[in-house]
Every structure is written in structure tokens, then in C-alpha cells.
Amino acid sequence: MLVQFGKYDAICSEVALIVCPLLGTDLGLEPVCYSRNVEINGTVIFQPATCIIHIAALFMCGIMVYHIRSKYTAVGRKEIVQFFYLYAFSETLAIFLDSAIIPTYSKVYAYFAAVYVGLGTAIFWTLMVNGFVGFQLWEDGTPKSLWFLRISSLGLFALGFVISLATFISIGSLNPTNTVGLWIVQLLFPIICIAIYVISQVILVLRTLDDRWPLGDILFGVLAFVAACVLMFGVSAQICSGVKHYLDGTFFGVLCLLLAVMMVYKYWDSITREDLEFSVGSKQAAWEVKDSSMGNSDTDVITATGSSVTHESGQQGGGYGGKGFGGRDNGRLAPYPGGGNGKGGQASGGYPPSGYSGNF
């Protein structure tokens, strides 16, 4: 297929995009081959298999958002989650547009399709901005960072919405036959954003991380995106004819895009670690409290692990092996002042101390 800049004729003849029924003549642009439709309770559902992938994408997106939000101290947590929120909203809208639950002949179809294009523009912009969060050019998670991302994403959404709607309903110089603006915001702009994101992340991994495994996540994500473009825009008609209209390139394209989004999450998860000092969870903790005001003979030691707390008085004279449970000295437990061989203690370091019948 030969793709011309600013033209949808070749693209829409290959794959049934959401915008294709609104372009070209009054009848729209139709693909030479598309998947079978099904009828449910008197309603004809287009692209049923593709709709299943959209629904699966919503479930996967919910799982990824849950895990992102559980990493309380990870860098860029609040920024990257906006990318997945926008993706989930886009997939929800695609269910109604791909399946023609919102009919293509309806007057509101053009507005919903314009919202879909605007969401796509905002999604790729959000991904690109997240590519610079790891460089710590600004403090992540702050109101300044979040509102910059939100406002700029809203601006790109408005740009995509206005250009696409003007193309659909013929406003100004834009019309269904003059699709250069729509072609730029829907097809060219995402490729530019992905290229910038990938380059920035490769630089981030090579310059700041010792681990090179995240490069594999980037590679698999890029391959999934390229596969989606090839399957949708390159061989959709061949796939449709080969499987006798049961599926077409849209099904495999949406599936590969889902895999690419999952690799974005996998990559982000692999390069972020929680700061356990500030994390929230049921982590085991161990600490000790020394009361030096009690003198050499009275030293209180508190050791806590999880929910169990033990208290030992230094008056017994011999913690472990007749020595107090103090700091380390040359890799061994150093004695407390005056620990020595206490009551029931053993100089040999045996445990438990002979003659000691108390509980730790």
C-alpha cells in the first residue's frame, strides 16, 4: 500500500478506521475487506472481535493502574498514571465507535469521532512528556508538574478535536476531502511523540542506570507498535481475505497496541524502585532503643519485628552469650558497657545462657 501525505484514500481502503466513514464523499471511505458483523437483539455489531480486545484492554489497564498507584514513592507515579487513564477512556469510546453502537449515519458520530482523535493526540503527548520525568528536570508529583501535564494534554486534546471536527463537518478550509490537518494530528504526530519518547528513554537507561534489561522492554514495545501499524495499514485486506472475513487487521492492530501499552508499564515498573523509608505497607522493621541514663547496669533493649515486641533488661547481664545486644564490632555483636559475664551468662557465647529461665 502506498500512503500519500495528507491522504486517507489508500489507508481507508485497507483498514476500517473510525474516521473513514466521515471522509471522502457522502458515503465515506470503505475498506475493500472488513470483518463479519453479528446481530444481537436486533442490533448489528460491527467488529465484534475487536470490541473484545477493547474490553480486555480496559481490564488490563485497571490492573496496571492499580499496581502503579500501589508504588507510593516511585518516580513519576502520578504522571504515568494519567497516560493509562487517557488510554482507558479512549478504549471505552472505541467500543461504541468501532462496533457502530453509535451509528455512523448519526449526527453525533462526528463529534464522538473528534473526541476520539483528540484523545489519541493527548495520549501520545502525555507519553512523550513522561519520557522526560525520569531526567528530574522538574520535581515529579508536585502540583506544578501535574498541572503542566494536565493543561498541556488538554490543549493537545482541544487541538486534535477542533481539527478533526472541522474536517468532518467542513469548517473553513478543512473538509472531508482536505484531510491534511487530520492526517498530521492522527498519524504523523503520534510517530513523532513515540520517537522522542524512545530516544529519551534509551539515553536515560544508558546514562543513569546500571541495569540494561529495561532496553528489552523498550525494544519489545517498539516492535509491538510497528507490528500494529503493519497489520493495520499494510496487510489488513490480506488477513481479512485469508480468514474469510472473520477477522481483519484492526483486530491484530488493536491487540498489538495493547501489548505496546503493557510494555510501557513494564518498562516504567522496571526502572522505578520504591524508597522503603517512606513506603507504606506491612514491611518488617527492627530497631533498638538504648537508655544511657540508667547507667552501665541498666540498659533497655527493645527489638520489634512485625507485630511482636520483646523487652530485655540489661540487669540480667548477659544478652546473647553473656554480651549485650549492642552495635557491631568487626562484624560481631559488640558488648554493652558493663555487659561482661552477667547472671546466668556464659563467656563462651552459648545460647541460651545456662541457668536462665526467663523469656526473651
Tell me what the pLDDT averaged over the chain comes to: 79
Q: Can you tell me the distance from the alpha carbon of 312 to that of 301, in angstroms, rounded to the nearest whole number?
A: 6
Contact 344, 316 (CB under 8 A): yes
109: left (phi over 0), alpha (psi -120 to 50) or beta: alpha
Of 38 and 192, the structure prediction assigns the larger pLDDT to: 192
Of 33 and 121, the structure prediction assigns the larger pLDDT to: 121
Q: What is the arithmetic mean of pLDDT over 45-65?
A: 92
pLDDT at 3 over 80: no
Which range has the top average pLDDT, 35-44, 227-236, 306-315? Answer: 227-236
Give the start-to-end residue ranges of the domains of the chain.
9-271, 284-360
H/E run at residue 124: helix 109-133
- What are the start-end ranges of the E strands in 270-358? 300-305, 308-313, 328-329, 332-333
What percentage of the chain has pLDDT greater than the value 70? 75
Residue whose grid cell is 491534511:
180
Binning pLDDT at 50, 70 and 90, where does residue 275 land?
low
- What are the start-end ranges of the E strands in the chain? 38-40, 43-45, 300-305, 308-313, 328-329, 332-333
Binning pLDDT at 50, 70 and 90, where does residue 347 land?
very low
Buried b (16+ CB within 10 A) or exposed e, 120-154: bbbbbbbbbbbbbbbeeeeebeeeebeeebeeebe
Q: What is the arithmetic mean of pLDDT over 113-134?
A: 94
Q: What is the arithmetic mean of pLDDT over 13-39?
A: 86
Give the pairing type, strands 308-313 and 300-305: antiparallel
Distances (CA, A) of 123 to 68, 120, 251: 17, 5, 20
Other C-beta atoms within 10 Å of 158: how many? 13
* C-alpha angle 67-72-74 in degrees, rounded to nearest 5: 85
pLDDT at 113 over 50: yes
The pLDDT, as a whole number, for residue 4 is 79
Q: Can you tell me the distance from the alpha carbon of 79 to that of 139, in angstroms, rounded to the nearest whole number?
A: 11
The pLDDT, as a whole number, for residue 322 is 40
Q: Can you tell me the distance from the alpha carbon of 133 to that of 146, in angstroms, rounded to the nearest whole number?
A: 11
The pLDDT, as a whole number, for residue 281 is 45
pTM recorded for the entire structure: 0.75
Phi (first) and psi of residue 38, to 5 degrees = -125, 155
The least confident of 44-48, 206-210, 289-293 is 289-293
The least confident of 88-92, 214-218, 338-342 is 338-342
Q: Quote the DSSP letter at residue 341.
A: S
pLDDT at 348 over 80: no
Of 46 and 56, the structure prediction assigns the larger pLDDT to: 56
The pLDDT, as a whole number, for residue 67 is 92
Q: Can you tell me the distance from the alpha carbon of 338 to that of 114, in angstroms, rounded to the nearest whole number?
A: 80
Tell which residue, 250, 66, 79, 203, has the closest CA to residue 153: 79
The least confident of 99-108, 125-134, 344-353 is 344-353
Phi (first) and psi of residue 311, to 5 degrees = -125, 130
The pLDDT, as a whole number, for residue 192 is 96
pLDDT at 359 over 80: no
The least confident of 98-107, 161-170, 203-212, 297-306 is 297-306
Q: What contacts 312, CB < 8 A, 6 or more positions away?
A: 300, 301, 303, 319, 325, 360
pLDDT at 189 over 90: yes
Q: What contacts 137, CB < 8 A, 6 or more positions away?
A: none
* C-alpha angle 307-311-313 in degrees, rounded to nearest 5: 170
The pLDDT, as a whole number, for residue 302 is 39
The least confident of 32-46, 165-179, 252-266 is 32-46
Q: What is the arithmetic mean of pLDDT over 157-186?
A: 93
Q: Can you tell me the distance from the alpha carbon of 117 to that of 159, in angstroms, rounded to the nearest whole number?
A: 10
Residue whose grid cell is 503542566:
148
The half-sphere exposure of 138 on its side-chain side, counting CA atoms within 13 A, is: 15
Q: What is the arithmetic mean of pLDDT over 271-275?
A: 72
Q: Can you tell me the distance from the alpha carbon of 345 to that of 236, in angstroms, rounded to the nearest whole number?
A: 81
The pLDDT, as a whole number, for residue 308 is 38
pLDDT at 272 over 70: yes
Tell which residue, 261, 193, 200, 249, has the closest CA to residue 225: 261
Domain 9-271 matching CATH 1.20.1070: the answer reads: yes
